[in-house]
Structure 1
Amino acid sequence: MAKMWYVFLSGILSVMYVKEVSSQGHGARIINQWRSLNYSWQSGTFKHFITSKEFIIENNIISGVKVLDGNVYVTVPRWKPGVPSTLNKVITDPGNGNESILEPFPNWEMQTVGDCNALQYVQSMEVDPNTGYMWIIDVGRIDTLTENPQNLCPAKLVIYDVRNQQVVHVHEFSDNVVPRTSNFLNDIVLDYVNGVASYAYITDSSQASLIVYDRDRDSSYFFKHPSMEVEAGAESILVNGNNLTTRVHINGIAMSYDFRFVYYCALNAYWMYKIPTYVLRNQSATFTVETVGRKNDLTGGMVATDKALYYGSLTRNAVNKWPVSPNSVEIPILSDDISLRWVDSLAMDDQQNLWLVANGLDLFLTDRMNFKETNMFIWKIRVGEHGYLTTANQRTTDDDNGGMVLG
């Protein structure tokens, strides 16, 4: 019977697809695309997950993406019930080489709802190619888009050694830094000092705050500033005729290649800001923010290279490049009304490739997503630039002022 369930659903589940396109001179490919998601089920469990509603197909959508050693990792936020695994590796289905499915990462046990030692809801993570460590932010809450969110566990940061398959460290956030009943930990970047990833900066899109984790002291604190909040008049997002009204504060975050600045913006905001890392490293520092400029569109995630910032253009179904230098302007490098609808997250691998997830999130949030059509895409774009973590352990030293210089 379980096999019959699988055969019935396989017609609307995941597919692997590669498409070559041109993007302002860049090689760009759709690596994966899905109508809906499927997982690498343990033997005999598929029917149970379906009948118990622990797997509700239409509540599963990919969001975050990172790449390490050629492997692609994605998050499936537990915004609604029926998400069996919130952190996953994309693999080829052993039973069908034409399909890609999600393998719970690091394993099924770490996806257990209600077990505070496991992962409850992962929106994003960062992977460090220098160490092989994945820095995973766990919101601790689930069903956050329903009328009855479950505040099951404290929020935490898990550092996991991917190459050696073991937990390195877990930091549980105190309630006064990351509220257990109302946080939305969204995005994360790392800060290198003297060749070591010493700080993590995490956005809380619910509290409009920037969380700092100090690894040496195993402590955390936060900064708040009006620049992290929603801009008046920017609450409405129109995508292909579909209007979505949201109030999402500080969301996307990017670390500069020289580790001197953190860039950020709210999802419902046009202005981009940056904060010096020497400020963030000092809990008692005065928050000194600088205005970078006004973007031409709203955006969610972002990523920095040694040349520019990259981020999605939500109402224009595009990817923008912004060389953050005097008098520079945004450059759209790729656009498509279907396969780039709502660019949600971006990442750089250590081979000078930009990766992104486009997931039609506006349709998901307005209950208009058709799971018989292709909705979710993973893109790989050759940009020929270095991600901020590439060889960071070799090129960073600490100067007398506490900032980073290139060695």
Structure 2
Amino acid sequence: MRGESVIFLCCLITLALGKGLKLEFSWSRITYQWPKDGQYLKRQVKTESRYRGPGGTGRSSDVITFEGMTNANEFDADGPGVGAARGPPDNIDYQFVNNIPMGANVWRNKLFITVPRRRLGVPSTLNYIPLDSPLKQDVPLIPYPSWEINLFPGPRENFVSVYRVAIDPCDRLWFVDTGIIETPGNTTIVKQSEIVVIDLKTDRILQRYTIPEDQTTPTSNLASLTIDVTENSCSDAYAYIPDLGGYGLIVYSLRENRSWKVRHNYFYVEPLAGEFFIAGHHFQWNDGIFSVELTDIKKDGYRDMYFHSMAGTNLYRVSTRILRNETLATRSYHEDDFQFVGDRGPNSQTSSADIHKPTNIMFLGLVNQNALGCANLDFATADIVQRDDQRMIYPTDVKIVKDKVYVFTNTMPEFLYGRLNYDEVNFRLWQNTVQGAVEGTKCEGRKPPRTSY
């Protein structure tokens, strides 16, 4: 059903008007802070489940242990970059041409960078660097929370492949480990996809939940998640996980430690919007619902969830009141629960997006335009924050952290359909304050910031 239409048409194909973004970090190739021989086997690190349910009783006996050094609070004692210069130990498989970073997020002084295993030779899938690193180019990644749990092949509890991470107000890191090695022509399912939650203050794994097989398909791709929680209700969190290949939405309740799958026609590819032209390459993609974005809490105690398909230009929304109720979320006919918001216009295909809740401004990674777009959901206006056909190829992740916007670009179409030049910069992290990013654009509103209920 059509809701109040947001007039996006023509707005997201203009030139940048605002102050745009500032380049924070860049990489020509991804390398790591390599451990000294045997360093990552120094001590035992424990992970635990604190939540009751099928995945954990909360008893102290529910402890998964692995041998590994916690890197969470350590940078190379020999100086920045020295660990990378050492080179990888003989027992770590590293092929730099196969390390394509995909996600970025910030917590305090940590910038998390994920490197999914789309090929072999990726030594660690979940990593970070210090946000205040004096180095700004080719900073080596530090595996998080340890080297050992990121190694593949390894024990079953090791992380296999992580695309993007979410951080909630309760200082927890959330992600989906897809459990899949995506080597072209030889995809290997190592284990069923699972949700992992880590306490960022202690670096302990709080929860691991295996997603039931009947909620995924052979084409499923769980490449992102968004967390619905407040700092006053940490145990009552919900995770919304779009399945871009299985055309569905998985909802996970932390309190109940169970999940359910939502199906709707709006989750599918839009047939007329599957054409892409990026970095000189023409191709077709059929990615459905790709990322979901949450507004602030409304008067009824719930949020609106906005969503879109990667191969699509339309924007939709649904109340979390529907999604958090399994009976309502899984019924076969949804009446007017799901609403069409508007068409963003030609070439507005979007990867990741996020909403700055105080201002209700959405930021969108416009992959077909090598740009960051913005949309003021209160004023129904949209614009381009910054566009750069050379340095912003494929904005793969967009995150709002407090009052700052972070954008990660990774030149992925050139990796897939051409050949990256690893003597040039390929991967970049951009940032600015929300106010600075939209200044001078149509997204800049005059209304005072929204008040949380």
The TM-score with structure 2 as length reference comes to: 0.74
1:359 paired with 2:419, answer no
Q: d(CA) in 2 for partners of 1:99 and 1:228?
A: 37
1:196 paired with 2:249, answer no
Q: Secondary structure at the match of 2:327?
A: coil
Q: Secondary structure at the match of 1:278?
A: helix
Is the contact between residue 25 and residue 137 of structure 2 (CA under 8 Å) also seen in structure 1? no
The offset of 1:110, in angstroms, is 1.4
Distance 1:167 1:210, change over 3 A: same
Aligned to 2:377: 324
Distance 1:235 1:162, change over 3 A: same
Cα displacement string for residues 160-184 of structure 1 (whole angstroms, at most 9, x for unaligned residues) = 00111111111111111235x5431
Q: d(CA) in 1 for partners of 2:305 and 2:177?
A: 21
Cα displacement string for residues 349-375 of structure 1 (whole angstroms, at most 9, x for unaligned residues) = 12x110010111111121332222211
What amino acid is the match of 1:275? V
Q: d(CA) in 1 for partners of 2:275 and 2:112?
A: 31
Cα displacement string for residues 262-287 of structure 1 (whole angstroms, at most 9, x for unaligned residues) = 11111111111111101101111144
Aligned to 1:178: 216
Is the contact between residue 279 and residue 414 of structure 2 (CA under 8 Å) also seen in structure 1? no
How many residues align? The count is 362
Task: Name which of 367, 387, 395 aligns with 1:314.
Answer: 367
Q: d(CA) in 1 for partners of 2:313 and 2:135?
A: 44
Task: Name which of 16, 26, 30 aligns with 1:33.
Answer: 26
Cα displacement string for residues 323-351 of structure 1 (whole angstroms, at most 9, x for unaligned residues) = 1236x23210111112211111111112x
Aligned to 2:97: 58
Aligned to 1:341: 393
Cα displacement string for residues 134-178 of structure 1 (whole angstroms, at most 9, x for unaligned residues) = 012111111x25111110011111110011111111111111123
> Which runs of 5 or more residues in structure 2 are unaligned?
1-15, 39-83, 437-450
Task: Name which of 308, 311, 321 aligns with 1:278.
Answer: 321
Is the contact between residue 33 and residue 377 of structure 1 (CA under 8 Å) also seen in structure 2? yes
1:263 paired with 2:306, answer yes
Higher strand share: 1
What amino acid is the match of 2:390? I
Is the contact between residue 320 and residue 334 of structure 1 (CA under 8 Å) also seen in structure 2? yes
Is the contact between residue 102 and residue 163 of structure 2 (CA under 8 Å) also seen in structure 1? yes
Task: Name which of 176, 182, 198 aligns with 1:160.
Answer: 198
Aligned to 2:61: none
Aligned to 1:298: 349
Q: d(CA) in 2 for partners of 1:137 and 1:382?
A: 28
Is the contact between residue 408 and residue 427 of structure 2 (CA under 8 Å) also seen in structure 1? yes
Distance 1:235 1:154, change over 3 A: same
Aligned to 1:127: 167
Aligned to 1:223: 262
What amino acid is the match of 2:351? G
Q: Secondary structure at the match of 1:58?
A: helix
Is the contact between residue 260 and residue 276 of structure 1 (CA under 8 Å) also seen in structure 2? yes
What amino acid is the match of 1:33? S
Higher relative contact order (CA 8 A, sep 6+): 2
Aligned to 1:109: 148
Q: d(CA) in 2 for partners of 1:368 and 1:77?
A: 19
Q: Secondary structure at the match of 1:284?
A: helix
Aligned to 1:391: none
Q: d(CA) in 2 for partners of 1:48 and 1:26?
A: 40
Is the contact between residue 313 and residue 320 of structure 1 (CA under 8 Å) also seen in structure 2? yes
Cα displacement string for residues 227-265 of structure 1 (whole angstroms, at most 9, x for unaligned residues) = 111111222200243213221111121111225111111
Structure whose alpha-carbon radius of gyration is higher: 2
Q: d(CA) in 2 for partners of 1:330 and 1:242?
A: 27
Q: d(CA) in 1 for partners of 2:249 and 2:114?
A: 21
Q: d(CA) in 1 for partners of 2:249 and 2:205?
A: 25
Identity rate of aligned residues, in percent? 22
For the aligned residue pairs, the C-alpha RMSD in angstroms reads: 2.6
Distance 1:366 1:24, change over 3 A: same
Q: Secondary structure at the match of 2:225?
A: strand
What amino acid is the match of 2:401? D
The offset of 1:298, in angstroms, is 0.5
Task: Name which of 81, 92, 117 aligns with 1:78.
Answer: 117
Greater shift, 206-215 or 317-326, is seen at 317-326
What amino acid is the match of 1:374? V
Distance 1:96 1:238, change over 3 A: closer
Is the contact between residue 92 and residue 123 of structure 2 (CA under 8 Å) also seen in structure 1? no
Q: Secondary structure at the match of 1:176?
A: helix
What amino acid is the match of 1:122? V
